[in-house]
Structure 1
Amino acid sequence: MVYLGMIFFQIVVPILALLVLGAILQRKFHFNLKALSQLITYCFMPAAVFVNLYETSVELSVLGQVAMFITLFIGSQMILSHFLAKVLGLEKPQTAIFKNSVVLINSGNYGIPVAQMIFAAQPIGVAIQVILVIFQNMTTYTYGLYNLISSTKSGKAIMKDFLKMPIIHALIIGIAMNFFNIGIPQFIRIPIDHVANGFIAVALITLGAQLSQLEIKSMFNKTVVVSCFTRLIIGPAVALLIIFALGLDGVVAQSLLIASSFPTSRNSSSLALEYDVESDTAAQAVLFSTIVSCITVTVVIYMADMLFA
């Protein structure tokens, strides 16, 4: 109960507060959601991705363990979501949203605060979560982006749209500048930081505005419910099997198991809105999984503490 209260009030409530604020503002001002989505995709997202990749430094041994785990975990989720989409008989656009809702995890504004709260005395736990954010960013803007583009286009059009995305450029530049330890002048770094710091708030407010146009009962459809169950229940179960198979233990195992339990990434909804691919379903999956996660994440944290403390 203590964990439940801490996670709910320190993590979930702030997220829900921004969603509610977005819904209230949308009801009053009727924002152009397409324009807001473009602002996020072409301005806020690239800045946040760049800063995250540019600032992160980790030990190679830990990076190797995390890389092996995340490769197996994300790969298993891709295969599982593809199979389940076939079983559910989803159309191509719905399949893209379903796959993204299972594979793409909210490792940033949900995962990092949780890690900071749990591993306050063990910085390696937070460092691992930061590494996972990097892998999730790469997965989102490669696999996730490809899913959405390929649901409406094919061939050269997919590659052309993919390469035009500023997020891809930010990802490559951020990694390169980090690796070669290239400094950034303050007059450039300051505005980049300002934009990056605004990403979470703008993204969540926009998502709240989008959700305000949905009916609550519409969340209870097979695509959303199955994706939520797969993301929050099956995902951690698969992660636990991988952790045992790799022989991981201690804080590394704890951090990875907990990280596997986080809800669907808000970026999956932002990208779906940008490309106009089942954006309502994507938003429903984010909202539903975020609400349910306040219970499921608590259980996983308890399990991680019992198994690997």
Structure 2
Amino acid sequence: MNYIIPVFIDVIVPILILLGIGLILQRKFQFRLRPIANLVTYCFMPAAVFINIYYAEIDLQLVFQLLLYLSLFITILIILSNILSRLLKLGNGEAAALKNSISLMNSGNYGLPVSQLVFSSNPLGVSVQIIVLVVQNLLTFTYGLYNLISASKSIIELLRDLIKLPIIHALILAVIFKIFEAPIPTPLLVPVEQLAGGFPALALILLGAQLESIKIRSFHKVIPWSLFGRLITGPVVALILIFTLGMEGVIAQSLFIASAFPTSRNTATLALEYDVEPELHAQIVLYSTLLSSITVTLVIFLSMQLF
């Protein structure tokens, strides 16, 4: 239980502060949010994903060991969220919010700090989280983006947008540079690093600005299902898979903790960019982030007891 206060202070509080800054600034200045969302999606976000993948110190043996687990974990969550959206008879936009909120986790500015705190004396735990982060980046800008675009556009328009999207180019370039271990000239690397460094703050400020116009009185029926799927079902599925696959020690701890992270803030950013239920996505991110201060710390405690 010693992890509860540090996790809340070092991870949750900074996120809430940035959300609050965005909310206060939007209330005072009433920014046009669409251009800011474009800036995040087409500039800051690709840089952040590129840098995350380019700098990740990943052991190939560890990657192969985790591949089966991650494939099963993601597949199960996608299937469950699709079944749930059909049972609830949701519209396209609402279904996209539910599917993405359950399947996509905040493994970046939330997951890495938590892992670095918990596994400060064991770098293997952080390495596992980096692999999860890379997989989540790929999932967000393939499956997650497909859910959003297909909710409002045809298949042809979807393919065109996917091909043109800078994040896809950034992922491909990062993988190429990583495979060939190609160095990047400093004049090019420095601005990319600076853009990547600004992404978490700008994305959270943007999310806070989105939240300013949200009437919390309207509690959509999708929200409790999203929260249950992301914060409860995710760790339960992870625990079952970990025991089934016989994983132990730090790897099991890290995977179990990673399964409990709240919904990715990128879901709200992309939803605003493509105008697919942006307020619903933003509310889900807000509530899941707030409640995760309880669920994540509980999962951390359980992981230390079980493994």
TM-score, normalised relative to structure 2: 0.98
- For residues 116-152 of structure 1, the C-alpha deviation after alignment (integer angstroms, 9 at most, x for no partner) is 0000000010111111110000000000001111111
User: Residues of 2 paired with 1:198 and 1:278: CA distance?
Assistant: 26
Over the matched positions of the two proteins, sequence identity in percent amounts to: 51
2:179: which partner in 1?
179
Offset, 1:235? 0.7
- SS of 1:216 mapped into structure 2: coil
Offset, 1:286? 0.1
Structure 1 position 98 matched with structure 2 position 86 = no
User: Residues of 2 paired with 1:21 and 1:190: CA distance?
Assistant: 27
Offset, 1:18? 0.1
Supply the AA of the counterpart residue of 2:67.
A
1:20: which partner in 2?
20
User: Residues of 2 paired with 1:272 and 1:32: CA distance?
Assistant: 15
Gaps of 5+ in 1: none
User: Residues of 1 paired with 2:222 and 2:249: CA distance?
Assistant: 36
Supply the AA of the counterpart residue of 2:85.
A
Matches within 5 A, 1:202-217: 202-217=202-217
1:138: which partner in 2?
138
Offset, 1:217? 2.5
User: Residues of 2 paired with 1:284 and 1:87: CA distance?
Assistant: 22
- For residues 48-98 of structure 1, the C-alpha deviation after alignment (integer angstroms, 9 at most, x for no partner) is 011111111321221112221111111100000001111111101110111
Offset, 1:185? 0.6
1:118: which partner in 2?
118
Residues paired across the two proteins, number: 307
2:222: which partner in 1?
223
2:151: which partner in 1?
151
1:88: which partner in 2?
88
Offset, 1:167? 0.2
User: Residues of 2 paired with 1:102 and 1:163: CA distance?
Assistant: 25
Deviates more, 1:68-77 or 1:54-63: 54-63
State the Cα RMSD in Å: 0.8
Contact 2:148 2:276 survives alignment (8 Å): yes
Matches within 5 A, 1:216-255: 216-218=216-218, 220-255=219-254
Matches within 5 A, 1:9-88: 9-88=9-88
Supply the AA of the counterpart residue of 2:34.
K
User: Residues of 2 paired with 1:115 and 1:226: CA distance?
Assistant: 26
Supply the AA of the counterpart residue of 2:169.
H
Offset, 1:7? 1.2
- For residues 151-205 of structure 1, the C-alpha deviation after alignment (integer angstroms, 9 at most, x for no partner) is 1112211111111100000000001101101111111111111101000000000
- For residues 30-51 of structure 1, the C-alpha deviation after alignment (integer angstroms, 9 at most, x for no partner) is 1110001000000000000111
Offset, 1:5? 1.3
- SS of 1:38 mapped into structure 2: helix
2:285: which partner in 1?
286
Q: Which runs of 4+ in 1 moved over 4 A?
A: none
- For residues 218-273 of structure 1, the C-alpha deviation after alignment (integer angstroms, 9 at most, x for no partner) is 2x322011100110001100000011111100000000000000000000000000
User: Residues of 2 paired with 1:158 and 1:204: CA distance?
Assistant: 27
Supply the AA of the counterpart residue of 2:134.
I
User: Residues of 2 paired with 1:265 and 1:292: CA distance?
Assistant: 14
Supply the AA of the counterpart residue of 2:15.
I
User: Residues of 1 paired with 2:216 and 2:290: CA distance?
Assistant: 12
TM-score, normalised relative to structure 1: 0.98
